Amino acid sequence: MPRSALLRIASAAAALSLGLAACEKPPEAQRGTAQVVDGDTLDLAGRRMRLHGIDAPELDQICGRADGGSWPCGRAARDRLAALVAEAETACTARASDSYGRIIASCTADGRDLGETLVGEGLAWAYLHFSRAYAETETRARAARRGVWQGEAEAAWDYRRHGWQPAAATVPDPACPIKGNITASGERIYHTPGSTWYARTGIDTASGEAWFCNPAEA
């Protein structure tokens, strides 16, 4: 093969290598002030972010206390995440996206890993079906009986499945059972199947209320 041809092949290979290296460059983190949606979801830089490797209690989920009582673990997780991102600028690095159009991201606030913090405080489960990033953190939280580990608590993925199946037969569209409600004060909230107010909430689409298919959409 002529030397000139060899040089052209070598140059093309080098260019391809540089191109692949550029493609493999880690994505830059999105930074700014975050708005919290629930215990594992936030809005940042105009995009919805789902925290990687964790599953927090659903917003209306109730968990058991060590003394036999109960506590609003879903709201507690949301409020803790809100407190964490209020302390400093939030930075999220995208890892993937889900079927709801959310970005799956690893996020920090003031250098603190938000997912690890929530799992470590017992305010979220390690989502082992997708990642073992926080498996050891969860083991320590469970041993210390923190948060959801202090009493009876249904894992968020089971809570969603058990609550949604019975509701599917009672709503206009079984695929979209979440109730988007407007309160008397004008606040827009949503109720997932199995939650405290779900059965007592009616939906008036004429007044702007609506049905949703998933929490991200709601």
- Average pLDDT, stretch 100-118? 94
Q: Which residue has the higher pLDDT, 23 or 82?
A: 82
123, 153, 152, 158: which is closest to 137 by C-alpha?
Answer: 123
Provide the whole-model pTM.
0.70
Query: How much is the pLDDT for 216?
Result: 67
Q: Residues 140-165, buried b or exposed e (16+ Cβ, 10 A)?
A: ebbeeebbbbbbebbebeebbeebbe
pLDDT higher than 60, residue 195 = yes
Torsion angle, alpha carbons of 55, 57, 60, 63, to 10: 160
The pair of three-digit structure tokens given for residue 149, joined into one six-digit string: 């580990």
Closest CA to 127 of 202, 66, 50, 60: 50
Hey, what domains does the chain have and what are their CATH numbers? 30-149 (2.40.50.90), 156-212 (no CATH)
Q: In which band, very low, low, confident or very high, does the pLDDT at 6 lie, cut at 50, 70 and 90? A: very low
**Are 35 and 43 within 8 A, CB to CB?**
yes
pLDDT single digits (tens) 17-72: 444 444 445 557 799 999 999 999 999 999 999 999 999 999 889 999 999 999 99
Written as six digits, the tokens of 75 are 């709201």
Residue 2 clears pLDDT 80, i.e. is over it: no
- What pLDDT, on the 0 to 100 scale, is given for residue 180? 87
Whether 201 and 179 have beta carbons less than 8 Å apart is answered as yes
